[in-house]
Structure 1
Amino acid sequence: MYEVGRFRRIALLALLAVVLTFVAILVARLLQVEQLYVPLAVAGVPGCFPIVLAVAVVAWTRSRYFADVWLTDTTDQLIVSAHPDFVTAVDQRRAESH
């Protein structure tokens, strides 16, 4: 679960960076701070938006916690593909039930 939270925080921080860049551009335009026009434009268009949005998408997709379970030919066995801690817990439960 730590990994899930970490990747979600990374995704949300990346989106926050995009929002803050928009706010900085808006404030610079409203206050007419011409010295910030070029740096904010460079940070926004070629750098921040596409790269940070890609980071946000990748981090959000990696934040999904999943476990795949497949039945074999008999109902006595399962094939579990999951986080190692989950697999250990399933193995312990299996050992306790026998």
Structure 2
Amino acid sequence: MNRLSALAAALLVGAASASVPHARAGMIDNIINSKCQSAMKADLAAKGITPPAGLVDSTCSCVVKQYNQGVSIDQSKVTCSQQAKAQLAPQATPQPASQPAAAK
């Protein structure tokens, strides 16, 4: 019975320590995402831009994904910000006013 308890304890410790890196990685992802969202919202608000729905989420998810692939945070921000600017560009371009129908 004592050997069984020791084995069970060893398995629990092993399982707990195996999940620590995953939990730590998830926590780091959450911190990066949170800081990114705060900074991006503040930057856009300072410029008087209301981002389209999902833009901040997708941009910050991009930063986290890039970081998890080994890209530095600074380079991740550059890459993902360029993608966000490309998404904002059509919104910022003035649309031509619709022309009234020609009288027949």
The TM tier, using the shorter chain, reads 0.3 to 0.5
TM-score, normalization by structure 2: 0.33
Larger RCO: 1 or 2 (CA < 8 Å, sep 6+)? 1
TM-score, normalization by structure 1: 0.35
Q: Which has the higher strand share?
A: 1
